Amino acid sequence: MQPFGTLPPTMLQTSDLNRELMAWVEETSELTKPDIIHWCTGSEAESERLNDLLTKDGTFIPLDPIRHPNSFYARSDVNDVARVEGRTFICSATEQDAGPSNNWMDPIQMREFMNGLFDGCMTGRVMYVIPYLMGPPGSSMAQVGVVITDSAYVVANMRIMTRIGSVALEEFPHKASFVKGMHSTGVLDPEQRYICHFPELGLIMSFSSNYGGNALLGKKCHALRLASAQARQEGWMAEHMLILGITSPDGVKTYVAGAFPSACGKTNLAMIVPPDVDQAKGWKVECIGDDIAWLSFGEDGRLWAINPEAGFFGVAPGTSMTTNPNAMLSCRANTIFTNVALRDDRTIWWEGMDGPPPESCTDWTGQPWTPGCGRPAAHPNSRFTAPARQCPAISPEWQNPEGVPISAIIFGGRRSTTVPLVSESLSWQHGTYVGATLTSENTAAAAGTVGQLRYDPMAMLPFCGYHMADYWQHWLNMGKHGGDQMPTIYHVNWFRKDEAGKLIWPGYRQNMRVLKWIVDRVRQRGDAVASPIGMLPTPQALEISGTDWPQETVKELLAVDREEWYKEVDRREEFFANFATNLPPELLRENEALRKRLQDEQLRF
């Protein structure tokens, strides 16, 4: 099939922003020298043509039309399976602006270098121009962007993850600027792989990777790295957070946002199915987003959040009808599966899926696979790209242009010791400190480093587009602005282990106990006791009494071991020293206040 081209929509000539877009597309095509330019409309017909094209060139294998209607299987290059933090750059005006946790390159030099890579890179290819919208149509919080790419696979994924084409162009007249994204597959050489952000220019340049986080530029690059820097200037927040709506039995809805580093169960929590007993009592949980939240003050002085995305880019392995039925149902149709295993009947499989493994299948590298062969069938970071609207638990509010008012923010990491199941911060400032010191342990997958702690402040370490300490200052400033209308901040840990190394907390649906306590607390009715690290639930408040879990287990889950916490405080002091030049003094004061509270004999429980 011949690749196809379309002209830009005529509406484009009508405003300064549109003229800027036309000029930039022309400039980029002069640099990249494509054979054909295609303006994406986002229509069904266009999607069908693209899927046909991708099927004919071997990128897509159509899946069984009954089991997975309009869904496709894709394999990436074996060297292109994840985000590449080492090759991701924040090219802010000065190195100081990027801060110690980001790679920095001089913006003028880096742009020149990237222009060199892009020079002629689309010769013989189609240049797709994808206008996209991050956020619900009509929302003042939503933003527009345009990605120029030579990858039809990127177009197909962006079409699910964002709102592309006409719906985005219709928003242009209401916006002051748009983010410019340039992407090329190049030849997928890892040595030529660069993911560069120019916050002052609102520009992203990504070369030589087609992996989601590197190539779907609306997601991590725009909605987190560029947006976080912009949000600081403009007084709002771009966060690596899920958004949940929880309905209590009396019908009141409470909205909660949550930040979790990878492999800590964020997508599972975003789509949690409450236990049957809670559902019978009238508890209900709905999903607004699973990865990114943009939060800004509403007219009522509260923080309101939108999900800028339109799809889920979920990790496949471990997802099943037991662990996350809503994710399984979300990706039944209209989904792209990348790097999972392919069964002979054109259905898909991954480790941890329901039922026994197939007797044989084709693995993510295209090799024959059998259960005993010693290799995983699906890549551990294999993904499904699925429309959010297909999630059975999607909230009716998920496309509300106003967003939803957030009452609580949850931080969670993977910690086998020290951190109790849940604690409530004493103030916004204390909660900011809790988020800034968020840590997670490397999992068994990283041999030799099991249990090693990685600080991942607010789960934003790889995504904060400017100096991390300035980001903490921004959090504190937001708190000063919002005063007592700010959400209450919680810290959760589903991963505490007993002395035998066994996880104490069952997790998954049982996490609802913690969510219910959080909702009750923000509604001023859940019981709590004071501890040095914040307020803890009483066992009754977690409704543990109705279970057969021994009292000892509950004690272990909620224990605050002073010796462990003294060590934690020392480690945090060392961690903060990395950001000494810009560190808000409030955070050091919070660390010292914690040390003092640990010495307070009154706080025994």
Does residue number 513 form part of the binding site for ligand OXD (CB under 6 A)? no
Task: Give Cα 13 to chain centroid, integer Å.
Answer: 35
Residue, CB closest to Mn ion? 291
Cα separations in angstroms, 30 against 23, 115, 147, 206: 11, 11, 16, 18
In the complex, the smallest distance separating the C-beta of residue 292 from ligand OXD, rounded to whole angstroms, is: 8
Interface pick for ligand OXD out of 55, 70, 262, 370 (rule CB under 6 A) = 262
Largest CA distance in the chain: 77
Q: How many residues does the chain have?
A: 605
Does residue number 467 form part of the binding site for ligand OXD (CB under 6 A)? no
Does residue number 487 form part of the binding site for ligand OXD (CB under 6 A)? no
Q: How many CB atoms lie within 10 A of CB 117?
A: 17
Pick the closest to residue 305 from 348, 258, 359 (CA basis).
Answer: 258
Does residue number 291 form part of the binding site for Mn ion (CB under 5 A)? yes
Cα separations in angstroms, 554 against 499, 506, 508, 536, 544: 14, 12, 17, 12, 8
The active-site residue, picked from 40, 121, 264, 361, is: 264
Interface pick for ligand OXD out of 136, 213, 311, 358 (rule CB under 6 A) = 213
Between residue 271 and residue 300, which ones bind ligand OXD under the rule CB under 6 A? 291
x/- track of binding to ligand OXD for residues 45-84 (CB under 6 A): --------------------------------------x-
How many whole angstroms separate alpha carbon 589 and alpha carbon 569? 11
Pick the closest to residue 60 from 435, 448, 336 (CA basis).
Answer: 336
In the complex, the smallest distance separating the C-beta of residue 219 from ligand OXD, rounded to whole angstroms, is: 7
In the complex, the smallest distance separating the C-beta of residue 550 from ligand OXD, rounded to whole angstroms, is: 36
The β-bridge relationship of strands 61-62 and 36-39 is unpaired
How many whole angstroms separate alpha carbon 565 and alpha carbon 416? 14
- Of 293 and 486, CB closest to Mn ion: 293
How many whole angstroms separate alpha carbon 419 and alpha carbon 423? 9
Q: Where are the alpha helices (DSSP H) in 2-106?
A: 16-32, 44-56, 95-98
- Of 180 and 219, CB closest to Mn ion: 219
Residue, CB closest to ligand OXD? 291
430 binds, among Mn ion, ligand OXD, none (CB under 5 to 8 A by kind): none
Does residue number 309 form part of the binding site for Mn ion (CB under 5 A)? no
Q: Is 391 a catalytic residue?
A: no
Interface pick for ligand OXD out of 172, 313, 364, 455 (rule CB under 6 A) = 313
73 binds, among ligand OXD, Mn ion, none (CB under 5 to 8 A by kind): none
- Of 39 and 337, CB closest to ligand OXD: 337
Q: Applying CB under 5 A, what is the total number of residues that bind Mn ion?
A: 1
Q: How many CB atoms lie within 10 A of CB 145?
A: 25
Per CB under 6 A, residues contacting ligand OXD are 83, 213, 262, 291, 313
Residues classed as catalytic: 264
Q: Which residues bind Mn ion (CB under 5 A)?
A: 291
